Amino acid sequence: MKKPAVVDSRQFFRTHWRMWLLLGCVREPMRYQLLYRLYRSVVNALIILFYPGTVLIALYNSGNVNDLLQTLPICAAALACSAKYISYYRRLNLVRQVEQIFNALDEQIVLEEDRAYFAGIHRGTNLILNTLRGICVFLFAITVMAFADSLENRDLAFAMELPFDWRASTAAYVGAVALELLLLACDLVQSLANDSFPAVALCVLTNHTRLLGARLSRIGHTGKDAQANIRELQQCIIDHQRLTKRALIVFYRLQAIIEEIISMPVFVQYAVTAFQDCFTLITFIFYTNTVSDKVLYLTYLLALQLQIFPLCYYGAACAQSMDTLQREIYASNWIEQDQVYRRLVTILSQRSLKSTTVYAAGLIPIHLSTFVKTLQGAYSFYTFVEGVRKV
């Protein structure tokens, strides 16, 4: 006999908690608290201060345009990662609130078909994580290849101003290489945690909204009495309050809490992606001479878009699932129900009319339209630079 799927939405965020723990972002009580605080201080100093600072100084000391174009996107990414890390560090306690609200919604998933649908959420979350893992592996592989090409000249993969003369001896160079790889690994783990959480959270929220719609559409078709149907509809209204911004109790404002957590990190990610798109295109147009270099930069440009596409996709899916609730409400057998039920249907219908799009920094919608505009902006910049080049 097949074992029933475990309904626990916290499982979708366990990978993120492991990465946040590794990065020293967790402030909850734990064993060896004093030792972890020391570890957290060292890691935070490396991630927030040392890595962006060394790259920023290297950018300031850039001697030519080629070095500037190579260092500037790296510097922007390092500063963006630090900004996103600080934002999550300050709001990590809200993630626990999100998990608690999801657990309250999990309790309503009792039918076998709903449990089977819930088990399928893993496909979406795993696709998000595996896509971003692939991007991190690709970026790390590029860095290792750059080290391999620069071994003869004893250069670093990317410019950094280290506090010691790494050209003085072989041991110093090996130490510089090891330190650069360590900083890059921390940066990539940080990027994986920070960039995957918004998409995973919106994916889980979207699927819980669809499950609520399925429950609404079944009311009145299962042979229950009128009072049972009213109780079921009242529970659906409570769950809708948990899902949306407009709940009377702050604890139940799930979408608003998620938006508060991801708003600033997503805004920073949009900004740095647009910035990196522009400078990658400049390098591709003016400073790539071989086919291998062109393929490398095009692949890197694709990786930049894949960083924000899952987020934009599930942002649009979340808004669409909220809008679909209007149809699911009237898919129930409301015609044969009493006046109390119909009044509740009217209340829930009116509540579900307002727009439920999630915004980054309250300005930019987290939606596929934003992703398309990012591509349009990159292409417009490309045509502008190409036009200037021909003049």
Helix, strand or coil, per DSSP, at residue 219: coil
- Residue 264: which pLDDT band, with cuts at 50, 70 and 90? very high
| The amino acid at 110 | V
Q: Phi then psi for 333, rounded to 5 degrees?
A: -85, 60
- pLDDT single digits (tens) 266-287: 999 998 988 888 888 878 777 7
Tokens of 13: 């965020």
Distance, in Å, from the CA atom of 103 to the CA atom of 122, rounded to the nearest integer, reads 16
- β-pair partners for 365: 359
Q: Residue holding tokens 């979406």?
A: 124
| The amino acid at 91 | R
Helix, strand or coil, per DSSP, at residue 354: coil
Please name which of 282, 272, 257, 226 lies closest in space to residue 74, comparing C-alpha atoms. 272
Tokens of 125: 């979350």
Helix, strand or coil, per DSSP, at residue 278: helix
| The amino acid at 85 | Y
- Residue 248: which pLDDT band, with cuts at 50, 70 and 90? very low
pLDDT of residue 221 exceeding 70, the answer is no
Distance, in Å, from the CA atom of 265 to the CA atom of 197, rounded to the nearest integer, reads 10
- pLDDT single digits (tens) 95-120: 998 998 888 888 878 888 888 889 89
Distance, in Å, from the CA atom of 203 to the CA atom of 122, rounded to the nearest integer, reads 10
Distance, in Å, from the CA atom of 149 to the CA atom of 156, rounded to the nearest integer, reads 10
- Residue 244: which pLDDT band, with cuts at 50, 70 and 90? low
- With vertex at residue 12, the alpha carbon angle to CA 11 and CA 14, rounded to the nearest 5 degrees, is 65
Distance, in Å, from the CA atom of 111 to the CA atom of 118, rounded to the nearest integer, reads 11
Please name which of 267, 246, 251 lies closest in space to residue 356, comparing C-alpha atoms. 246
Whole-prediction pTM value?
A: 0.87
